[in-house]
Amino acid sequence: METKGLNSPGYEIPDDVKGAVAITTIDRIYNWGRRSSVWPLMFGLACCAIEMIATAAGRYDFSRFGMEVMRPSPRQADLMLVSGTVTKKMAPTIVRLYNQMPEPKYVVAMGACASGGGPFKEGYNVVSGVDKLIPVDVYIPGCPPTPQALINGLIKLQEKIDGQHWKDTRWYREGDLAAIPIPMLGPDLIYQEQIPAIKEASKEA
Ligand code: SF4
C-alpha cells in the first residue's frame, strides 16, 4: 500500500507513537481511495485508441494505478477516456453515456482529435473537440499521444482528484445534477439548448 503523503497531518506526531498511529484528513484518505481506483469507460474512436489499448497492456500496464477495470460501459465508471476523432454521428451516444455515468465522474480527452478536432477540425462530420459536448478535466496533446503521455495525463487527473475537497464537490450538493441535453443528429448536429434561438432566427428569415 502506498502511504506516502497520507500520514502527514501538518503537525508533529510524537516520536513514541510514530509508526503505530496514523493521522490524516478525511479529504486525503477519501481522495486517496478515489484516485487509486479510477475505473475508465473506454471510448476508443480512432487511431488514438490503439495507444490507449497499448497503455492497458503488459508493457505500460495502467493497472498499476488501480485502473484495470476498463470497460465500454458507464456502469461504475469514474472516467470517460475519449480517445480518437469525435464524429457528429457519435456525439449523441457520448453525451448519453456521460449522463448515465454516476458521480463523481471525469473526462480525459486523449489526442488532438478529442481535444480540438485534430487534423479533421472543421470537417463536415467532425466535432471540434469533445469539450463541445461534455466537460473535460484533462487534455492530452499528440497525434497520437504515446502511452507515456496518456499515463502522464492520468497522473494529472489523480493530482486533480487529490486537490478536491469533499464539501465543495458537485456531487454532494443538494438537488439533482442536471443532465446534459443530448444533441440531435439531423443533417447536422442540433444542440437542444440552441433550439429557441434557431426558432427565433427562422421566424425572422
Ligand atoms: S489525434 Fe491523430 S492519432 Fe489520434 S485519432 Fe486523431 S488523427 Fe488519429
Q: How many CB atoms lie within 10 A of CB 137?
A: 17
More confident of the two residues 139 and 30:
139
Taking residues 106-129, what's their average pLDDT? 95
Give the global pTM: 0.86
Instruction: Output DSSP code: residue 106.
Output: E
Atom 8 of ligand 1 has which residue's CA nearest to it? 47
Grid cell of 43 as nine digits: 471510448
The string of pLDDT tens digits covering residues 55-100 is 999 899 998 888 888 999 999 999 999 999 999 999 999 999 999 9
pLDDT at 46 over 70: yes
Q: For residue 143, what pLDDT is reported?
A: 96
CA of 133 to the centre of ligand 1 (A): 19
Q: For residue 9, what pLDDT is reported?
A: 58
Rounded CA-CA distance 112/116 in Å is 6
117: left (phi over 0), alpha (psi -120 to 50) or beta: left
pLDDT at 118 over 80: yes
Report the pocket of ligand 1 as residue ranges, CB < 6 Å. 46-48, 84-85, 111-113, 118-119, 143-144
Question: What is the torsion angle, in degrees rounded to the nearest 10, for the CA atoms of residue 129, residue 132, residue 137 and residue 141?
Answer: 10
Inter-axis angle of helices 48-56 and 147-162, nearest 10: 70
Taking residues 41-61, what's their average pLDDT? 94
pLDDT at 166 over 50: yes
The string of pLDDT tens digits covering residues 173-199 is 777 778 899 998 887 888 888 888 888
Choosing from 113, 120, 130, 139 the residue with most ligand 1 atoms within 8 A of its CB, the one to mutate for a pocket test is 113
Q: Which helix (H) or strand (E) holds 203?
A: helix 195-204
CA of 177 to the centre of ligand 1 (A): 32
Is 62:53 a contact under the CB 8 Å cutoff?
no
